[in-house]
Amino acid sequence: MGEPARTTYLLVDGENIDATLGTSILGRRPRPEERPRWERLLQFTRDQWDQPVVGLFFLAANTELPMTFVQALLAIGYKPIPLSGAPGQKVVDIAIQRTLVEIGRREADVLLVSNDGDFVGQVGDLLDGRRVGVAGFVEFRNNAFAQLAERGLESFDLEYDVRAFNEQLPRVRIIAIDEFDPAQFL
């Protein structure tokens, strides 16, 4: 028997992605069909790094557990982590930061799904030879993550790399000339 497969922990900051999608991209609350297909993210992560994935989906639940969403996450293979705390306490950020620190004590890789700069320190600490990535919307990602690329941080876009959406989002992005298709604009 060989060594057990190395694990990738996929940490999803659902609030951050939902807020970026709604506020910055769509300018309104996303409809269900406009939200990411989270199962594609699990599969992308498995395929990208060719190893088992443990998907952790962090939610600020406070006093109300969104059972329909939690059941959907469970059905596609995530471990939902509903959190509560004091008013104004960023419970999802605190939990993800603690989880990143704990992952640093293990032989494991991590893909963080967030644009939030509150995790830059913990992500930087993990760049010690393991595979570490961040996924989100590149144009809204905290710039401090770009500085970690030279230390090995991999970067993925939820729409263009992961293909997590059923429909093209109304995003404005820099287009490499080799990818430019004028038909998309006519």
Residue of 98 and 66 predicted with greater confidence:
98
CATH number at residue 163: 3.40.50.1010
pLDDT in tens, 94-127: 999 999 999 999 999 999 999 999 999 999 999 9
Q: What is the CA radius of gyration of the chain?
A: 17
Q: Name the residue range of residue 118's domain.
A: 7-185
Q: How many domains does the chain have?
A: 1
Residue 45 lies in a domain: yes
Token digits for 57?
């989906």
- Residue 177 carries which DSSP code? G
Separation of alpha carbons 44 and 55, rounded Å: 12
Residue 172 lies in a domain: yes
Q: Give rounded-to-5 percent helix, strand, coil for the chain.
A: 40, 20, 40
CB 35 within 8 A of CB 80: no
Residue 1 lies in a domain: no
Residue 117 has a CB neighbour count (10 Å cut-off) of: 13
Residue 2 lies in a domain: no
Separation of alpha carbons 133 and 152, rounded Å: 8
pLDDT in tens, 43-61: 999 999 999 999 999 999 8
pLDDT in tens, 82-95: 999 998 899 999 99
